[in-house]
Amino acid sequence: MLARRSLTRNSKGKHEIAYYLCCASTGTTDKEIIRVAGARWAVEDCFQTAKTDVGLDQYQVRRYDAWYRHITLAMLAHTYLAVTAAIAPKALAAASSQSRWARSSVSWHT
C-alpha cells in the first residue's frame, strides 16, 4: 500500500492523505508502482477534458451498442482534438515563416 500526503492544507487546515492499494507481480519495483499511481491524475484530467470538450458524459442511451458507439466516437473526437492541439503550434510557426502571402513594406490599403 502506498500513501501520499498533500502539500496544501484542506479547508479544515489539515493535510490530506491519499492511499493507494496496489496489486502487482512479484518483480515490480517500488519505483514502477509509484509511477503508475502518479499517472492517475493525468488519466482523471483526460476524462474531465473529454467530458467538457466532446460530451463524453452526455449520452442518453438504453442499449449497450448505442452507449458503445457514443463513447467510441467521443473518445475519437477527443483524440483528434488533443493531437491537433499538440501539433498546431508547430504547424502555425512553420506556415507563418514560409508564407508567400506575407505583406511587403508597402501597404496596399488606402
Q: Answer yes or no: do 27 and 61 share one domain.
A: no
109 domain-assigned: no
- What's the pLDDT band for 110 if we cut at 50, 70, 90? very low
Decide: 20 and 37 in contact? Cβ < 8 Å.
Answer: yes
Q: Answer yes or no: do 29 and 75 share one domain.
A: no
Q: What is the pLDDT of residue 25?
A: 86
Mean pLDDT to the nearest integer, 23-49: 85
Distance separating alpha carbons of residues 8 and 18, to the nearest angstrom = 13
88 domain-assigned: yes
Q: Answer yes or no: do 93 and 45 share one domain.
A: yes
Distance separating alpha carbons of residues 110 and 108, to the nearest angstrom = 6
> What's the domain count of the chain?
2
Q: Quick check: 64 pLDDT over 90?
A: yes
Q: What is the pLDDT of residue 72?
A: 95
Q: Answer yes or no: do 31 and 51 share one domain.
A: no
83 domain-assigned: yes
* Nine-digit cell string for 60: 442518453
Distance separating alpha carbons of residues 39 and 66, to the nearest angstrom = 30
Q: Answer yes or no: do 67 and 51 share one domain.
A: yes
Q: In the chain, pLDDT over 90 holds for what percent of residues?
A: 18
